[in-house]
Chain A
């Protein structure tokens, strides 16, 4: 086919068929993914007593950290879903969330008795926490990647990584309904590791599944 002919054919219907709402698509798809993650949590680990959770500052700290990273990942994914999309403010929110938690961790560590430090850092569940968050993030990540396949990202690993950051953040919030760890230091190390694993998986899946 000649290029001129192709142009003729393409210009038969120049108006776009639909509005492009990648952020909304990712959210809509992730509701299903998050429901699967919640079901996984209930079937596998159960819930901590919710009244205690709501009164515990540590629950809100962990949920806030996960939510801030999820929001950054979501905004980043929605922006990178367009050709030539730029990161915008999302990296600053990531930095702010990590810094805020790091400040809390430093305050907590400097106030602690020397013998108490390992428990702030390792808690009771450091060997399980990152893997659990990573496992819970997988259905959310798959849903987000499926939604992004309708879009047109041009930096595939970065776009996939953003979807993974979003999924990891949401998974961290969900895991908080089970996890009874209270230390900021613990959260900074092991929650971050679980979320980073999710982002890494997203970055690995991106070049394979987001091509168009």
Chain B
């Protein structure tokens, strides 16, 4: 497993998009199993954590040292996101006794429900922009419906969504650097 993931990661970092997508897809299955065992497989948070971890793995991909193993690195990020989640929801648990092998204990390719989604990113936006973006991009409302919900004109809603997207892209690009 380690050898396969490491090979995919090396190909991915070298610019091989299909290999990188396959790596993330394989990882998402293991992450779902890993978080599911700790939060209960039906918890809505599981899919959020899977996505957050995938995003973190992507944004911090240059921190992986190709001379070292891949799975302990990916596992450290998953564990970090789990602890961060527990800190946010206010429960104190310890996962100190786990090791990287735990990540591969269970593969679950089935996607669960998404609630917070890339909510971590959205919370960085002003409330009004975040609400618009959530309505248009995540809930799938039309621009007109979103404008009505937000009590603004359609033009203002379009500008708001555009600004919010630009901010998010800038934030992601900034973290990329």
B-contacting residues of A (Cβ < 8 Å)? Answer: 1-4, 6-8, 10-12, 14-20, 81-85, 150-152, 154, 211-212
Total A-B residue contacts, Cβ distance less than 8 Å? 97
The answer on a CB contact under 8 Å between A84 and B28 is no
Contact A84 B72 (CB under 8 A): yes
Residues of chain A contacted by B117 (CB below 8 angstroms): 1
Q: Name which of B60, B84, B100, B118 has the most chain A CB atoms within 10 A of its CB.
A: B60
Does the CB pair A82–B55 fall under 8 Å?
Answer: no
Residues of A within 8 A of B111 (CB): 2-4
**B142 vs chain A, min Cβ distance (A):** 18
Given contacts A6-B118, A81-B63, contact A15 B14 (CB under 8 A): yes
Q: What are 18 A-B interface contacts by the 8 Å CB criterion?
A: A1-B117, A3-B28, A3-B51, A3-B114, A6-B51, A6-B118, A10-B20, A10-B54, A11-B24, A14-B15, A15-B15, A18-B176, A20-B62, A20-B63, A82-B65, A83-B60, A152-B60, A152-B63
Question: B17 touching A11 by the CB < 8 A rule?
Answer: yes
Interface of A: prevailing SS? loop
Question: In the complex, A6→B118 CA distance in Å?
Answer: 9
Given A3-B54, A10-B58: A83 in contact with B76 (beta carbons within 8 A): yes
Q: Evaluate contact between B20 and A3: CB separation under 8 angstroms.
A: no
In chain A, what residue has the closest Cβ to B111?
A3
User: Could you tell me the distance between the alpha carbons of A17 and B13 in the complex, rounded to whole angstroms?
Assistant: 10
Question: Which chain A residues border B75 with CB–CB below 8 Å?
Answer: 84
A15 / chain B contacts, CB cutoff of 8 Å: 13-15
